[in-house]
């Protein structure tokens, strides 16, 4: 099992890979309050970077900055332009009672690749969606209403949606929270496979197993990037 690096966002010695995203003195606010303070870090391809810290430390805001959906008030983020990004938040944006199936939700991952807004998924798109669901062991749930699924099942469908995007940058906020050990292990294996294919994986996590298996680590305390204790 890998041990995390204490140096923020430095690839593990056995995985020397290119830097994909650079944060330079990035500061950000949330609801008018400063939550990130001068973050400078590098995130590498082909590696899993764990973002750790106590609740309220700024982890989710940092992930949103990397996703390009939260604009910093200062500093720069280099490397996001033109790069396919898949973002899995803590909670789905799909209302539980919205009449869509699990396959419909996973299929949303293909929408950015379609030629125009009203284009239909073709056979290749559908194969990618089903393969993504299968990797998370939720393909048998594909015809079921998304709202009828358990929280853990919905989480796996949302990760399948991200996989279906075939993104270069995969961002996940607490992907294994509330899941049993077997489900968490399966998700970590999928994320490792994504990194092995060359994707950049960044996950906010409190899971000690996920942290131990990560290639790099960003540890936040009150919005500041600090060395992580082993």
In a domain, 11, yes or no: yes
Of 135, 165, 195, the residue that ends a domain is: 165
DSSP letters of 167-218?
A: -SEEEEESTTTT--HHHHHHHHHHHHHHHHTT-EEEEE---HHHHHH-SEEE
Where residue 9 falls among pLDDT bands split at 50, 70, 90? very low
Q: How many domains does the chain have?
A: 2
Same domain as 131, residue 70? no
- pTM of the predicted model, to two decimals? 0.86
What are 148's strand-pairing partners? Answer: none
Of 134, 165, 196, the residue that ends a domain is: 165
Task: Using the predicted structure, report yes or no on whether residue 13 has a pLDDT greater than 60.
Answer: no
Same domain as 157, residue 195? no
> Cα(64)–Cα(196) distance, rounded to whole angstroms?
24
Where residue 10 falls among pLDDT bands split at 50, 70, 90? very low
> Which whole number is the average pLDDT over 142-153?
92
Where residue 7 falls among pLDDT bands split at 50, 70, 90? very low
Tens digits of residue pLDDT in 50-94:
999 999 999 999 999 999 999 999 999 999 888 899 999 876 666
Tokens matching residue 119: 């284009």
In a domain, 96, yes or no: no
Same domain as 195, residue 222? yes
In a domain, 91, yes or no: no
In a domain, 90, yes or no: no
**Cβ contacts of residue 219 below 8 Å, gap of 6+?**
8, 51, 52, 53, 225, 226, 227, 228
Q: By mean pLDDT, which of 38-52, 104-118, 190-204 is the weakest?
A: 104-118
Same domain as 175, residue 78? yes
In a domain, 89, yes or no: no
DSSP state of 112: G
With a pLDDT cut of 90, the percent of the chain lying above it is 70
Q: Are 122 and 83 in contact (CB under 8 A)?
A: no
In a domain, 195, yes or no: yes
Domain range for 141 is 101-165
In a domain, 217, yes or no: yes
Same domain as 134, residue 76? no
**Cβ contacts of residue 148 below 8 Å, gap of 6+?**
none
Tens digits of residue pLDDT in 168-193:
999 999 998 888 888 899 999 999 99
Q: Which of 206, 162, 201, 163 is nearest to 184 (CA)?
A: 206
């Amino acid at each position: 099992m890998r041990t995390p690096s204490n140096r923020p966002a430095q690839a593990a010695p056995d995985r020397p890979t290119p830097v994909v995203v650079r944060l330079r003195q990035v500061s950000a606010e949330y609801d008018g309050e400063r939550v990130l303070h001068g973050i400078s870090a590098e995130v590498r391809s082909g590696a899993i970077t764990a973002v750790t810290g106590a609740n309220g430390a700024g982890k989710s805001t940092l992930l949103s900055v990397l996703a390009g959906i939260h604009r910093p008030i200062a500093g720069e983020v280099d490397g996001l332009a033109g790069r396919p990004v898949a973002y899995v938040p803590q909670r789905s944006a799909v209302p539980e009672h919205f009449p869509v199936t699990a396959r419909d939700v996973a299929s949303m991952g293909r929408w950015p690749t379609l030629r125009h807004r009203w284009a239909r998924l073709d056979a290749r798109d559908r194969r990618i969606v089903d393969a993504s669901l299968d990797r998370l062991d939720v393909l048998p749930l594909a015809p079921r209403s998304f709202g009828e699924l358990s929280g853990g099942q919905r989480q796996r469908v949302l990760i399948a949606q991200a996989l279906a995007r075939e993104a270069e940058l995969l961002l996940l906020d607490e992907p294994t929270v509330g899941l049993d050990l077997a489900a968490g292990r399966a998700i970590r294996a999928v994320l490792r496979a994504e990194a092995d294919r060359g994707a950049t994986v960044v996950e906010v996590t409190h899971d000690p197993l996920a942290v131990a298996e990560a290639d790099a680590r960003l540890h936040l305390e009150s919005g500041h990037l600090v060395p992580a204790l082993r």
